[in-house]
Structure 1
Amino acid sequence: MPSRRQWLLATTVFAMRARAEPSSAVTLRYLETAPHDLFGNYVVGLLSAAVARTGLPLRLESVPSYSISQGRLELELVRQESRLDLMWSMTTRSREQMLRPLRIPLDQGLLGWRVAVIRQAALSDWQPPPGRAELARRRAGQGLQWPDVDILKANRFRVETAPDSRSLYRMLELGRIDYFPRSVVEVRDELSTFPSQPMTVAPGLLLHYPAAVYVFLSPRHERWVAPLSQNLESLVRDGVVARLLHGLFQARLKELDLSRRNVIELVNPLLPPETPVQRKEFWWRPQ
């Protein structure tokens, strides 16, 4: 569970929602985030801060969450009569063609840094840490229609799929996959939420591929891409994004002892050429 300090840090952003909204405000709807989804709530808070930054005539509104794949969610945002207007996810070439990205990596690339969740009973099979060739032969699990599936396959890794994270943890419990690569900002909360059997993080191993989580707007709201992007960039420039992101997740990163792990670098063929990889202020690196 997040500490009191972490929630106070989050509140500094969430409180910006309190500014009065114009009566003519345009509503942007998104799927409600779960209480344990610290990253999702962080994104909503930053987006709220971007709206409040210059008093944009926008109102953010959550819609009760329901099970939907990323591919179907993209199609839902494109639909003219959709009940949703935005989503956040890892960027891909096809996603940027279909939707309208706010090209500011709100995760600072952290979702591209992956540890391997394994069964506690299989820990001896992961000591010492496997090299790239051996890891590629083991069965990884990823979500159906997640970009990570194509990324891992492009790097010649074995991948099995399931509809969602809960199903993948179940597959891991049953031995149908050998490991479940999870981002360094997701893994702690998931391990305290999903598994019914003892799980752990494989020691000494860290996967990395360049990736960025953006907010994507429906094409119906293209006019708001530029002002929201400008306001999000100003939050980066003023240090708000780094302070909040690191305040919320620094303890998790420290627990994983990332600087002592062997990094296996992977290519990401889905990364759009417009991704601002040269802007160092947008990206995190292990210390």
Structure 2
Amino acid sequence: MKQACLFLASRISRSVLLILTLLLATPFASAADAVQKTATIRYPLVSPNADPHVDYVLEILRHAVKASGQPYQLQASEVAMQQARAIYELTSPNGIVDILWTMSTDEREAQLIPIRIPIDKGLLGWRLALLRSADAEMFREVRTLKDLSAFSAGQEMDWPDVAILRNNGLPVKTSASYDPLFTMLKAGRFDYFPRAVFEIQNELDLRPSLDLVIDKHIVLYYPSALYFFVSPREPKMAQDIQRGLEELIKNGTFEKIFQRANQDAIKNANLKSRTIITLRNPFLSPEKMPLHRTGLWFRP
């Protein structure tokens, strides 16, 4: 009898010890799970000199991540990369970036996961011309696309704009990278450098020694959208960021950030006083764009 009681007591002690062990382990297991659930969103490293709207885009992305309710953290890649390299990294099974912001094309939307909210409200398609100061009045008499075709534009070779301009009959000279385009313009390698409304003043201010000016007479327009693109490796990440962006639109944060970053540039561009040269964009299907959501698009 005594042995039976001792055996039972021993069993009870082991059971109590096991229960206590499980209870004590539970908080630590939950903490470990939370750490595991935190994911990193890796984006291409760019500088404001190479991408004048990088600060604005990253502000939108940070707010969207926070609004998504998911424990993501943002991390820039260790090396800077151009668009073609970043797209390669997004499509590669072991790529080193997860997200990119760039002008949308049908090809890019087929390769990657597009988040179809134009984070620039379509401003990327409104282009002013950067000129040499000696040519400040070069476009005074330009009224049509045919008039403009007498002049050559400069662009980076992996930008979608190259194909858009050429498809509309406009001559284009290209550079393998962004920075040399300004000195190429200064040297007369091409006649004008089309830049987005929200880019051009900052780019001009950063290069006072080149003696360049912003044309006052025309504005190029073609349908476009600056989207976030997510790697096909990360469909849930894309859904989370989409949800965060929708929340920013709903609560007004998106519009506040957009206006703060762009209202001065839009005002200074004085678009209503310019001749609008409209171009086709055959590389982005209109039916894929959320054109029915009129609040997402800029109109002068």
TM-score band by shorter chain is: 0.7 to 0.9
In the alignment, is the contact (CA less than 8 A) between 1:22 and 1:57 conserved in 2?
Answer: no
Which residue in the other structure is 1:269 paired with?
Answer: 282
Whole-Å Cα distance in 2 between the matches of residues 161 and 248 of structure 1?
29
Which residue in the other structure is 1:14 paired with?
Answer: none
- Which of 30, 44, 49 pairs up with 2:63? 49
Whole-Å Cα distance in 1 between the matches of residues 113 and 277 of structure 2?
31
Which residue in the other structure is 1:165 paired with?
Answer: 178
Aligned CA distance change for structure 1 residues 269 and 35 (closer, same or farther; 3 Å): closer
- Overall identity of the aligned pairs, in %: 35
Whole-Å Cα distance in 2 between the matches of residues 33 and 230 of structure 1?
25
Which residue in the other structure is 1:243 paired with?
Answer: 256
TM-score (norm 1): 0.87
Aligned-residue CA RMSD in angstroms?
Answer: 1.8
Q: Is the aligned partner of 1:140 residue 2:153?
A: yes
Whole-Å Cα distance in 2 between the matches of residues 239 and 22 of structure 1?
31
SS in 2 for 1:137: coil
Whole-Å Cα distance in 1 between the matches of residues 175 and 248 of structure 2?
36
- Which of 112, 116, 119 pairs up with 1:99? 112
Whole-Å Cα distance in 1 between the matches of residues 162 and 191 of structure 2?
15
In the alignment, is the contact (CA less than 8 A) between 2:88 and 2:95 conserved in 1?
Answer: no
After superposition, what is the alpha-carbon deviation per residue over 1:73-123, rounded to whole angstroms, capped at 9, x for unaligned?
211111122221111000001101111111110000000000011100112
SS in 2 for 1:126: coil
Which residue in the other structure is 1:16 paired with?
Answer: none
Which residue in the other structure is 1:218 paired with?
Answer: 231
- Which of 86, 96, 99 pairs up with 1:86? 99
Which residue in the other structure is 2:200 paired with?
Answer: 187
Aligned CA distance change for structure 1 residues 201 and 130 (closer, same or farther; 3 Å): farther
After superposition, what is the alpha-carbon deviation per residue over 1:34-70, rounded to whole angstroms, capped at 9, x for unaligned?
245552112112111111114213221112442x332
Whole-Å Cα distance in 2 between the matches of residues 61 and 96 of structure 1?
23
Unaligned 5+ runs, structure 1: 1-20
AA aligned opposite 1:86: I
Which residue in the other structure is 1:203 paired with?
Answer: 216
Aligned CA distance change for structure 1 residues 156 and 195 (closer, same or farther; 3 Å): farther
In the alignment, is the contact (CA less than 8 A) between 1:69 and 1:163 conserved in 2?
Answer: no
Q: What displacement does 1:135 show?
A: 0.7
Whole-Å Cα distance in 1 between the matches of residues 159 and 209 of structure 2?
24
